[in-house]
Amino acid sequence: MLSKRLRGLVAYKTETTPAPVKLSSNELPFELPTSLRKEVSKELERAHLNRYPDPHSEELKGVLSDFFGVNPRNLLLGNGSDELIYYLSIAVGEFEQGIYTPVPTFPMYGISAALLGRPKLEVPLQADFDIDLDASLELLESRECTLAFFSYPNNPTANLFSRWKIERLRDRGLFSVIDEAYYHYSNDTFEKEALVREDTVVLRTLSKIGLAGIRIGIMIGKEEVVAEIDKLRLPFNITMPSQVIAKVVLTKGRDFIEESVSKILKEREKLWRALNVLEGVEVFPSEANFLLFRTHIDADRVHRELIKEGVLVRDVSHLPGLKNCLRVSVGREEENELFLEKLSLVMKKLL
Ligand SMILES: *Cc1c(COP(=O)(O)O)cnc(C)c1O
């Protein structure tokens, strides 16, 4: 009785291999400071867990509106931006109309499309990981399409696509979702346009700045667009503990977030330089909290050897255009050093 759409679907592979040094999911590697954890506990103790949470997350939206500098009416919250990606795939266009993505990119766009039975219009990136505009326009010429997802910066290639190319595609009539999950590490945004246009929204998340565990995704868009998409949101999609924790951390933990981001940016630079001079490795530029690199030998083997050494990175070598590529999250200083040490060991062994 289960649908063909569902049977054809492959479940999203989350990396669960245990490893002492986990650099595979682009999380913030720092724990919240003890004082902040105490504040969180204090607030959680007071929470009425027998009651439903605020369905509109009013107080949290107030805090987020201050954090992002936009009006609360321009915000829609999801149980992670994953949920918002799913909502947008339902809300924009008709199901027989395609969803455009440059690939490789974040898998959730394709999964949402497949689940809804929407055609996937996927165009391989150029060798420099930018959008292939000509190939994209040509495909859009022949196929009906209403929605596009742009991971900006792109996961897993770590670069920002050319802004003008996104704009050209949007001008072809594509509602454009700009997924700025790594905004704090790139500092580039479509926010201004999202606030005034009917065909552009921006996605943010707390997952990459220290709160992956509480699943808070944020859509920023024009008030009318937010109000429409809000109609299909599940009533209590943000749990009470998540609302409470996010409020505390985004009011009392701003310094922690800011310092963490700047530490990661410094570490990114150091890690990039080290990989850049490592024999048998080619590292690509990054505007995010992770680095993509190519090994001159079988990346699959490098990945497995690294696990044996206690270091987990993400194997992305099966993706189109990413032969022998691995993705490593920027970790704490000592984690990055250990990763570099183990990687050069493995490379010496296998080269
Ligand atoms: C990590 C990531 C997300 C995260 O989504 P959440 O569901 O908010 O954790 C979204 N988009 C991209 C491109 C990502 O890399």
Residue nearest to atom 1 of ligand 1 (CA): 181
Nearest C-alpha neighbor of 288 from the set 129, 167, 169: 129
The arithmetic mean of pLDDT across residues 239-250, rounded, is: 98
Indicate yes or no: pTM above 0.85.
yes
Q: Between 8 and 227, whose confidence is greater?
A: 227
Residue type, 53: P
pLDDT digits (tens, 9 = 90+) for 56-90: 999 999 999 999 999 999 999 999 999 999 999 99
Structure tokens at 321: 């255009």
pLDDT digits (tens, 9 = 90+) for 1-51: 898 888 888 887 777 788 999 999 999 999 999 999 999 999 999 999 999
Residue type, 175: F
Mean pLDDT lowest among 12-26, 141-155, 230-244, 265-279: 12-26
The Cα 313–Cα 315 span in angstroms is 7
Q: Alpha carbon of 224 to those of 2, 59, 73, 178: distances in Å?
A: 36, 21, 9, 18
Task: Say how many Å lie between the CA of residue 350 and the centre of ligand 1.
Answer: 33
The Cα 34–Cα 113 span in angstroms is 42
> Residue 207: CB within 6 Å of ligand 1?
yes
Helix (H) or strand (E) holding 200: strand 200-205
Which pLDDT score, from 0 to 100, does residue 127 have?
Answer: 97
Domain boundaries of the chain, sorted by first residue: 4-31+255-350, 49-252
Which pLDDT score, from 0 to 100, does residue 265 have?
Answer: 98
Q: pLDDT band at 347, cuts 50/70/90?
A: very high
Which pLDDT score, from 0 to 100, does residue 16 have?
Answer: 79
Closest atom, ligand 1, to C-alpha of 217 = 8
Q: What is the DSSP secondary structure assignment for residue 239, as one 8-state letter? A: -
Distance of CA 138 to the CA centre of its chain: 28
Which pLDDT score, from 0 to 100, does residue 315 have?
Answer: 97
Residue nearest to atom 2 of ligand 1 (CA): 181
> Residue 151: CB within 6 Å of ligand 1?
yes
Q: Domain 4-31+255-350 is classified in which CATH homologous superfamily? A: Aspartate Aminotransferase, domain 1 (3.90.1150.10)
CATH topology identical between 4-31+255-350 and 49-252: no
Residue type, 66: D
Which CATH number is 49-252 given? Answer: 3.40.640.10
Does the N-terminal peptide bond of residue 153 adopt cis geometry, omega within 30 degrees of 0?
yes
